[in-house]
Amino acid sequence: TDWRPCLPQFKAAFGCFVFSPEEEKGVDCVAQFRSMQECFSRHSEYYSSGSKDDAPKE
């Protein structure tokens, strides 16, 4: 199993942002970032914050 299931979406969004010609950097990359976020949500087991603060309290 690939431990980076959203790497293509991340690369597309990051590359779009870095090379965005727009004055407001990244404004033209909304679709790519949305796709990346949707992938992160679908694969939350790989992309959780892992913070101990998020653990349930007893």
Say which residues have a Cβ less than 8 Å from residue 40's Cβ, sequence separation at least 6: 6, 47
Q: Looking at the whole model, is its pTM more than 0.85?
A: no
DSSP state for residue 57 in the 8-state scheme = P
Q: According to the model, what pLDDT value does residue 56 have?
A: 46
- Residue 52's pLDDT is 52
CATH of domain 1-43: 1.10.287.2900
3-class secondary structure, 9:
helix
pLDDT for the residue numbered 48: 78
Report domain extents, the chain.
1-43
> φ, ψ for residue 38 (rounded to 5)?
-65, -40
pLDDT confidence of residue 6: 95
Stretches where the chain sits below pLDDT 70 are: 1-2, 49-58
**CA–CA separation, 13 and 52 (whole Å):** 28
Residue 47: what pLDDT? 83
What pLDDT shows up at residue 57?
47
